[in-house]
Chain A
Amino acid sequence: MKSDTITRYILFISSLVVLLVSAGMVFSLVGDAVPVFEKFGWRFIISTDWNPTEGRESYGALPFIAGTLSTSLLALLICLPMAFATSLFIAEYFRTSYVSSVLGTMVDLLAGVPSIVYGLWGFYTLRPVIVSLGLDAQGYGIFTAGLILAIMIIPYATSISSQIIAMVPTELKEAAYSLGATRYEVIKYVVLPNARSGIVASFILAFGRALGETMAVTMLIGNTNIIPTGLFSTGNSMASVIANQFGEADGLKMSALIAIGLLLFVITGIINALGKMVIKRMSR
């Protein structure tokens, strides 16, 4: 009897680790971000001025917030049709066939490619293509970064979407077929309405992934501290400014970078919670 109590205590204590790590994370980020918020207040979020020169220091995170949101939204936009078509391919059209499992494995492999390899591939393969197509002289910027991000988040969106699409009851689909519906009509009027919230959730979660991606974006976005003005404008994202400027940071600048990390933490937290909520509501 006594050993059972000890075992239960050990399990309980280990669960405290999760609690402590989460609480400690918020505590440390907030604690170290305080100096910059004290000095600049809300201006830290709405100012576009990023100047680390000693004496005239001024830190505004708006360009990075704009860079993160624009690349991630673009990625979501590109990922939408591709992940949707792929999940229909896997879970509806070729459901039990060999082709579908091959395709599914390849999509899973996409999820396994390290971020830095995506960055290299984007830099040495995608960027020259964009330059030679005449889209942009340098090939850096929001568009290139968004495109690479889209490829990176496709597996996340696809794996959840295809699971949800595969869960649509066969009886419903058969009923529609028996009324003479074509496959396209079955997808449009039966599969989609049934799977809608799950598909939405999968895209929300994929969007959350895109927000925090660092290396690939850093290598392709161009790293200029301005609010992007167009699709091919350069910019900088929250994650990449941390990665780029961390090495030479101390004092107030370090605090500013940590504050950006805190913002990123909060934004991704909200997006992920939203996605999880949609999924939970659906499973009820």
Chain B
Amino acid sequence: MGQKNNKKMETLKLKDNSAYRTSKDKVFLVGVIIVSIITISPIVLIIGKLVWEGIGQINFSFFTETTPSTFEAMTAVANNEVIPGGIVNGILGTLLIVGLASVIAIPIGILVGLFLYENQQSRYAGLIRSLSDILQGVPSIVLGLIAYLWVVKNIVHGYSALAGSVALAIMMLPLIIRSTEETMKMIPETLKEAALALGVPYYKVIARVLIPSGFSGLATGILLSVSRILGETAPLMLTTLGNPMVNWDITAPTSAVPLLIWNFYNDPNMLSLIWSSSLFLMGFVLTLNIISKRIVAKI
């Protein structure tokens, strides 16, 4: 196309094709708009489906009782009743696993981010930065395998919440490192220099100047990384296994909301619980997402 046009120009046989060109322009614009609308339609359809199918199951016992047995669910379905019980073991399990993962990943992530910020140019920091990029790309199921090999096989000798937390912590780590470094880069150098010029020891500069002034950036990074790991299923299948009871022991098998969804999906009697649990999970993840966006907007 480009070359043809050029040739035409050279021979100066210019025709007035502006009508063709403007209509082509219009058609392209309409195409872009239509395809964009198609692209975002799944999110509307997904949320719509979850609300439509799931809202009926969400009641008080959904948040206070553990999962019903297959038999209980079967009799309820046979009698056209709402399935009894809830997913409190999954909710508390998710909180335990994600909380533990955060306790592991957030301090290390922030420290590594500070290290990278302090040593921008050094070769070693470049290596760490690349490694953290590679870690970010590792599929979550591979992290599940790793946590299985490390924790399940060699430390706890059994499926455990801790193993799941390790897998999820490795997932969070690169996100927090990256967001900490980016946030620190945005803080004016002069703030830090002013503190150092007053003779403030370096750890106090970090605790009193860098972290407070970059707080919203750090919080956004943390919230986004938590919302990223909340819905992870695959690594938990290989590490925490699941548990029909509420469990607070980090060395015992534990359930999580995504794991319960997977169980419900495989059990024809529990079908209607799938949607309410997914709705809950989705609502949780999206709320975190939106809060973190709000924080960004406020800066």
A contact residues vs B (CB 8 Å cutoff): 3-4, 6-8, 10-12, 14-15, 17-19, 21-22, 24-25, 28-29, 32, 81-83, 85-86, 88-89, 93, 103, 105-110, 112-121, 123-125, 151, 154, 158, 182-185, 187, 189, 205, 208, 211-215, 219, 239, 242-243, 246, 257-258, 261, 264-265, 268-269, 271-273, 276
Contacts and interface: CB of A to CB of B under 8 A. Distances in A.
Contacts of B202: 3-4, 7-8
A7 B201 CA distance: 9
B36 A89 contact: yes
B45 A185 contact: no
Interface of B: 2, 21-22, 24-25, 28-29, 31-33, 35-36, 38-40, 42-46, 49-50, 108, 111-112, 114-116, 118, 124-125, 127-128, 130-142, 145-146, 149-150, 170, 173, 177, 201-203, 206, 227, 230-234, 237-238, 258, 261-262, 265, 274-275, 278, 281-282, 285-286, 289, 293
Contacts of A276: 130, 133
A124 B112 contact: no
Contacts of B265: 116, 119-120, 123, 219
Nearest to B137: A272
Contacts of A214: 139-141, 233-234
* Residue among B170, B265, B286 with most chain A CB within 10 A: B265
Nearest to B135: A22
Contacts of B261: 116-117, 120
A108 to B, nearest CB: 7
Contact of A268 (B39, B137, B201, B206): B137
A154 B112 CA distance: 30
Contacts of A239: 139, 141, 234
14 contacts: A7-B203, A8-B118, A19-B127, A22-B134, A29-B145, A114-B230, A117-B261, A120-B261, A121-B46, A184-B24, A184-B29, A215-B262, A239-B141, A243-B141
A110 B201 contact: no
B231 to A, nearest CB: 2
A184 B28 contact: yes
Which secondary structure dominates chain B's binding surface?
helix
B29 A93 contact: yes
Nearest to A275: B137
B177 A215 contact: no
A32 B134 contact: no
Given A29-B145, A107-B40, A110-B43, 14 more contacts: A7-B201, A8-B118, A10-B111, A17-B108, A32-B149, A109-B286, A110-B42, A116-B258, A125-B49, A182-B24, A184-B21, A214-B234, A261-B145, A271-B137
B65 to A, nearest CB: 22
Contacts of A242: 141, 145, 238
A187 to B, nearest CB: 8
B256 to A, nearest CB: 11
Contact of B134 (A108, A121, A219, A269): A269
* Residue among A24, A114, A125, A273 with most chain B CB within 10 A: A114
B50 A117 contact: yes
A98 B251 CA distance: 49
Contacts of B133: 272, 276
Given A93-B32, A276-B133, A261 B142 contact: yes
Given A109-B289, A182-B24, A265-B138, A117 B282 contact: yes
